[in-house]
């Protein structure tokens, strides 16, 4: 059974829900539950080997790629290609990251991949197709007209279909077309950094020279760009709002979440804006003090980076106003779903910080300049469902 990617599952609620839904849910591999990190990773490795021996997971007999389709009830359609990609050096600018990573998450993912000797879920990468990728685009569309190898529908309403591509001529077409393009990491910065770490640990050539990815042509299939929200565990909303006095404008909104997010979107058109929650209401935060921004936001970075909401949140609010370390799981969590963030803040007495999404063109332009955004700045989607395609390195 499938799961969202490991960093989208709301823990522990989402993990428990997925585990109880099916004894073979992939969450048991990507987020194993045990008393210690070592025990968790050992458990994931044993579970993977058991599922392989029992036929729960079946190796594909032929090498190849997969055409992968996602579709929702509102007409959203995304198609791409799943396969292995060479883990290139940053200087080559073949794969462009756009966000910083947190070392403890990279270490956690690396330990899990070492223990399982597997890429358990594909990263989401995008490229901008043009006349040179027409053959690949046509091949994807023709493949999607055939009966799928696998089809399923997930709880979020998305239908998923998968086809294998094994003909040598088709594989050569895709490889030749895409080799001339750059890829932007849409989702999976920590896993890409993990691929790099594990590649350096294993003398080349080795299976660790490559990593599992999904490549989507956003010229044909534009992705949705959503925000990733923050949950501040030890900061009650009242204290968070009080600390903003004289630094930002704060307005209390007694409205449903949907209307509060609309107000945030309107405010974001005029400048940096955030939505705080956790006490049963919403607090719209905007109009930052220019002098405060001048003192706290690094001046040597490009203007597009300096004016990002995520930059102001991390450099100004977290560092200088609230004094919260951004890389400490004990103090801050990163959650993709706004309603879940608000619910956890209200239940635990913390502060939810809801963000407005960044436009894709801003992300891509900064990435091409080699400028990374603050960690967890964006959430591209739809993300590939975990559990459909895995890569076991030592089969």
- Checking if the pLDDT of 10 tops 80, the result is no
pLDDT for 20 equals: 81
- Alpha carbon distance 377, 100 (integer Å): 9
Specify the pLDDT at position 365.
Answer: 87
User: Tens digit of pLDDT for each residue in 51-91?
Assistant: 999 999 999 989 999 999 999 988 899 999 999 999 999 99
Q: Name residue, tokens 């009966």.
A: 147
Say if residue 13's pLDDT is above 80.
Answer: no
104-139 residue pLDDT tens: 999 999 999 999 999 999 999 999 999 999 999 999
Tell me the average pLDDT across 16-30. 89
Please spell the DSSP secondary structure of 24-75, one letter per residue.
Answer: T-THHHHS---SSHHHHHHHHHHHHHHHHHHTSS---SS--EEEEEEE-TTS
Pair of tokens at residue 181: 């393009």
What are 280-291's pLDDT values in tens digits? Answer: 999 999 999 999
Q: What is the pLDDT of residue 374?
A: 87
**CA-to-CA distance for 118 and 208, rounded, in angstroms?**
9
Domains in the chain (CATH in brackets) are 13-224+380-392 (3.90.1530.10), 229-376 (no CATH)
Q: Classify strands 351-354 and 183-187 as parallel, antiparallel or unpaired.
A: unpaired
* Per-residue tokens: 30: 């990507």
pTM above 0.85? no
130 token code pair = 């043009």
Average pLDDT over residues 218-235: 92
CA distance 124 to 384: 7
Q: Which residues pair with 274 in a beta bridge?
A: 285
Q: Which residue reads 């890389």 in tokens?
A: 327
Q: How far is CA 279 from CA 148, 161, 342, in A?
A: 48, 42, 9
């Amino acid at each position: 059974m499938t799961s969202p990617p490991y960093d989208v599952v709301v823990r522990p609620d989402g993990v428990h829900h997925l585990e109880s839904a099916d004894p073979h849910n992939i969450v048991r591999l990507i987020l194993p539950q045990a008393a210690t990190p070592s025990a968790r990773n050992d458990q994931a490795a044993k579970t993977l080997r058991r599922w392989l021996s029992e036929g729960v997971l079946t190796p594909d007999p032929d090498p190849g790629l997969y055409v992968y389709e996602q579709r929702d009830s509102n007409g959203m359609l995304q198609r791409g290609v799943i396969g292995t990609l060479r883990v290139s050096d940053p200087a080559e600018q073949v794969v462009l990251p756009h966000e910083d990573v947190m070392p403890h998450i990279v270490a956690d993912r690396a330990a899990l991949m070492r223990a399982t000797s597997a890429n358990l879920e594909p990263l989401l990468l995008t490229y901008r197709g043009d006349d040179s990728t027409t053959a690949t685009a046509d091949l994807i569309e023709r493949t999607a007209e055939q009966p799928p190898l696998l089809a399923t529908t997930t709880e979020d309403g998305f239908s998923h279909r998968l086809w294998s591509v094994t003909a040598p001529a088709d594989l050569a077409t895709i490889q030749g077309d895409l080799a001339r393009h750059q890829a932007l990491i849409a989702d999976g910065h920590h896993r890409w950094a993990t691929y790099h770490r594990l590649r350096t640990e294993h003398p080349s050539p080795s299976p660790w020279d490559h990593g599992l990815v999904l490549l989507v042509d956003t010229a044909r299939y534009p992705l949705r760009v959503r925000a990733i929200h923050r949950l501040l565990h030890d900061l009650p909303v009242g204290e968070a709002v009080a600390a903003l006095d004289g630094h930002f404008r704060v307005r209390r909104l007694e409205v449903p979440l949907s209307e509060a997010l609309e107000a945030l979107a309107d405010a974001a058109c005029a400048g940096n804006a955030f939505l705080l929650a956790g006490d049963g209401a919403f607090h719209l935060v905007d109009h930052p003090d220019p002098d405060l921004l001048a003192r706290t936001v690094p001046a040597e970075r490009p203007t597009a980076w300096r004016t990002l909401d995520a930059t102001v949140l991390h450099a100004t609010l977290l560092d200088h106003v609230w004094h919260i370390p951004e890389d400490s799981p004990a103090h801050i969590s990163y959650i993709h779903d706004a309603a879940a963030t608000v619910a956890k803040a209200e239940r635990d007495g913390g502060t939810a910080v809801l963000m407005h999404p960044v436009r894709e063109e801003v992300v891509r332009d900064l990435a091409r300049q080699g400028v990374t955004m603050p960690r967890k700045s964006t959430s591209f989607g739809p993300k590939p469902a975990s559990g459909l395609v895995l890569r076991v390195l030592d089969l």
